[in-house]
Structure 1
Amino acid sequence: MKTWALYSLKGGVGKTAAAVNLAYEAAATGKHVLLWDLDPQGAASWYLGIDQPPDLSAKKIVDGKVPLGRYVQATAHERLAVLPGGRGYRQWDAEIHAAQSPRKVIERLVEPFSESYSLLILDCPPGIGALATAILRAADQVLVPVVPTPLSLRAFDEVLDHIADKKVGKTRVRPFFSMADRRRRMHRDLLAEPPESMQQAMATFIDYSSQVEQMGAHRAPIATFAPRSRAAGQFRSLYEELA
């Protein structure tokens, strides 16, 4: 089982939209996919039709007191399942920090899923802490959406600094430009001439688009309601580049 983490220090960069759409694209190619929504907001779960997330807490999960597989829910999309997030996840950092071998917590928790799934996608909450470090260690690829603005690029530089400090594997980090508004000169300039930290970025970038906003109205991945849209094509290309 491969593990991809959608992660960013900064919120509001299109991370959850990317997680949901990449999970759908992978399932559409025949892979059995599990999306674990690690965010207390539970937005990815909601996009995939989950109205009542299970009453799970980060403490119970980290302590190993609950079999996570029991809480996996099917979605309306073939071969795509979700482990929902919710408010009980608010104490991730504190619970992981207090655990034995905190860096290995996520690796330990996801290992049993390898029997049923070929791809696990982690939709991670923003921030840098014990959870982020455990995720960075566990993931085969860490996908970091970066809005083409100085503030978002600065946040990505902090992620790289954290990875170097914790020695958790810089080579697995795959940034990509997200929410790019090519009507704005700054966005166009940064897409045309990315800074040094983005020299290894994915070739595919994701535009700012109304289809991403419409995911909330449809509660579904873009390819299900706007399959010929540019946004659907970009997420498909991003998945193909990663795969």
Structure 2
Amino acid sequence: MKTFALYSLKGGVGKTAAAVNLAFEAARAGEHVLLWDLDPQGAASWYLGVDEAAEVSAKRVVSGKEALGRHVQATVHDRLSVLPGSRGYRDWDAQIHAARQPRKVLETLIDPFSETFSLLILDCPPGIGALATSVLRAADRVIVPVVPTPLSLRALDEVLTHVDDKKVGKTRVIPFFSMADRRRRLHRELIDSPPPSMKKAPDVFVDYATHVEKMGEHRAPVATFAPRSRAAGQYRALYQALA
């Protein structure tokens, strides 16, 4: 099973929208996909039709007293399931930090899902701490949305530094420009002449688009309600570049 993590130090960079759309594109391409919503806000779960989910204790999960598999829910999309977010996930950092092997917590938790799924996508909350370090170790690819601004690029630099400092080994950090607005000169310049930190980025970016915002109205991936839109094509191209 491959594991992709959508992660950023910053909120509001299009991370959850990317996680949901990449999960849908992967399922449509034939993968059996589980999207694990690690964010206590549960936005990815909500986009995929989860109105209410049982509260899950991060303490019980980390200690092995809570079986995550029983919380997996099918979605209306073929081959796409979701492990919903929960308010109990607010304690991730504290519980992982207290574990016997903090860096291996996520690896241990996700291993059983490899019997059922071929791709796991982690939608991670923003920030840097014990959960982030465990994610960086567990994921094959850490996909970082970057708004074409100096502040967002600085956040990417922090992620790259953290990966180096923690020596997480197999992790590949793959940034991509997100919420890009080519009407803005700065956005155009950074997209056309990206800095060295974006050298591993695929040759595709995702616009700041109305169709992405409308995911909240439809509670669905863009391609399901606007299949011919530019945004749908960009998410499809992004998945193909990552697959």
Contact 1:36–1:85 (8 Å) recurs in 2: yes
Distance apart, 1:54 and its partner CA: 1.5
- Name segments (4+ residues, structure 1) moved above 4 Å: none
- SS of the residue corresponding to residue 181 of structure 1 reads coil
In structure 2, the partner of 1:176 is 176
Structure 2 CA distance for partners of 1:109 and 1:97, relative to 1, 3 Å: same
- SS of the residue corresponding to residue 142 of structure 2 reads strand
In structure 2, the partner of 1:48 is 48
In structure 2, the partner of 1:31 is 31
In structure 2, the partner of 1:133 is 133
* Whole-Å separation in 1 of the counterparts to 2:241 and 2:83: 25
User: What's the RMSD between the two structures over aligned residues?
Assistant: 0.8
Identity of aligned residues (%): 74
Distance apart, 1:160 and its partner CA: 0.8
The aligned amino acid for 2:213 is E
The aligned amino acid for 1:165 is D
1:84-134 deviation digits (Å, cap 9, x = unpaired): 002110010000000011000000000000000000000000000000000
The aligned amino acid for 2:203 is A
* Whole-Å separation in 2 of the counterparts to 1:202 and 1:170: 19
Contact 1:36–1:120 (8 Å) recurs in 2: yes
Contact 1:34–1:120 (8 Å) recurs in 2: yes
Distance apart, 1:169 and its partner CA: 3.5
- In the TM superposition, 1:49-88 aligns within 5 A as 49-88=49-88
Contact 1:73–1:82 (8 Å) recurs in 2: yes
Structure 2 CA distance for partners of 1:109 and 1:171, relative to 1, 3 Å: closer
* Whole-Å separation in 1 of the counterparts to 2:162 and 2:171: 13
- SS of the residue corresponding to residue 132 of structure 2 reads helix
Structure 2 runs not aligned, ≥5 long = none
* Whole-Å separation in 1 of the counterparts to 2:179 and 2:18: 10
In structure 2, the partner of 1:225 is 225
- SS of the residue corresponding to residue 143 of structure 1 reads strand
Is it true that 1:13 corresponds to 2:19 in the alignment? Answer: no
In structure 2, the partner of 1:117 is 117
1:53-93 deviation digits (Å, cap 9, x = unpaired): 11101111111111111000011101100000021100100
* Whole-Å separation in 1 of the counterparts to 2:134 and 2:171: 16
Distance apart, 1:199 and its partner CA: 1.6
Count of equivalent residues: 243
* Whole-Å separation in 1 of the counterparts to 2:212 and 2:239: 16
In structure 2, the partner of 1:97 is 97
The aligned amino acid for 2:111 is E
Contact 1:143–1:175 (8 Å) recurs in 2: yes
Distance apart, 1:209 and its partner CA: 0.2
In structure 1, the partner of 2:2 is 2
Structure 2 CA distance for partners of 1:171 and 1:49, relative to 1, 3 Å: closer
Structure 1 runs not aligned, ≥5 long = none
- In the TM superposition, 1:200-211 aligns within 5 A as 200-211=200-211
- SS of the residue corresponding to residue 52 of structure 1 reads coil
- SS of the residue corresponding to residue 204 of structure 1 reads coil
The aligned amino acid for 1:63 is S
In structure 2, the partner of 1:236 is 236
* Whole-Å separation in 1 of the counterparts to 2:229 and 2:22: 15
